[in-house]
Amino acid sequence: MQKSSPEASQGKDTGRRSRVDLTGLIDVVIALAVIVGAWQAFFWLDLRYHWLGPYSQLLFPSPMTTLATFERLISTGMLPTAVYTTGYRLAAGFALAMLLGVIVGIVMVKFRRFGKTMASFALGLQSFPSIAWVPFAILIIGISDYGVLFVMVMSSAFSVMLSTYSGLRNIPPIYMKAAKSMGARRLSLLLGVMIPAATPSLITGMRQAWSFSWHAVIGAEVVMISVGGLGGILYFGEEFIRMDQVLACMITIFVIGFAVDRLIFFRLERRVRSKWGLAS
């Protein structure tokens, strides 16, 4: 019986992944078409029956009106500037939250009493809404980029911390015994065995931290309007009753978050699951 070569198997896997990616893209396009169609249908029905009262067109603009607002925000430079401002804050805050969460999670595993106590505190602090940290940031740090970063780190670091702690504690003991029998000690044991074994849990923590970071940065920018960003566009859209501007900003937030999740976290998780033999 002739066996397939590794190159042929790799080619089949690549082709299968390409088909899965194409199918996923088609599903996304269909879902967006359904959403936009339902949006337009509701707008037409509201024009006829005035469900939202005399200010229906102001409170619920059509997709075409929102698209025109997109073009205005882009042509004036407001949207690109806001995306850049929010983007670098998001990247910096997410990186700090990951670094702090992983380090503290490793320390929690190393010192068990500290780990048990901190796990309970972290779980309680994780339940705080991100907006609750804004008064602390304003009073202690001030209305600045550092204040926004503080809110982001406090909102998302605990998720990474708990994921790291849980992932490292749930490593099968046989891995540690085998590594120690082959001479692995301390740093090599941590970097070569523990962290790779806990990678699936770490990726879950990363995705949660990314979501929490988005919540935190937008909430902080809405309250600290002088720092600008996408939250500033949301705030002024609400203040001047520009629902088309609010919807345009919300769609921008959704598109960026969805794109980063699909292009980075989803692919990273799929690669890890495939390496661990967890993918179907």
Percent of the chain with pLDDT over 90: 35
Nearest to 199 by CA among 157, 171, 158, 159: 171
For residue 1, what pLDDT is reported? 44
Nearest to 227 by CA among 127, 101, 93: 93
Helix (H), strand (E) counts: the chain: 14, 0
The domain 66-275: what is its CATH number? Answer: 1.10.3720.10
The ranges assigned to domains in the chain are 1-60, 66-275
For residue 23, what pLDDT is reported? 79
Tokens of 16: 């299968």
Cα 210 from Cα 206, distance rounded (Å): 6
Confidence of residue 15 (pLDDT cuts 50, 70, 90): low
Cα 66 from Cα 60, distance rounded (Å): 10
For residue 121, what pLDDT is reported? 87
Contact by Cβ (8 Å): 183, 192: no
pLDDT at 209 over 80: yes
Could you read off the pLDDT of 140-167 as tens digits, one per residue?
A: 998 889 999 999 999 999 989 998 898 8
Tokens of 18: 């390409």
10-24, 197-211, 231-245: which has the highest mean pLDDT? 231-245
Confidence of residue 86 (pLDDT cuts 50, 70, 90): very high
Contact by Cβ (8 Å): 94, 157: no
Could you read off the pLDDT of 125-136 as tens digits, one per residue?
A: 888 888 889 998
Cα 66 from Cα 255, distance rounded (Å): 15
Q: In terms of pLDDT, which residue wins out, 21 or 173?
A: 173
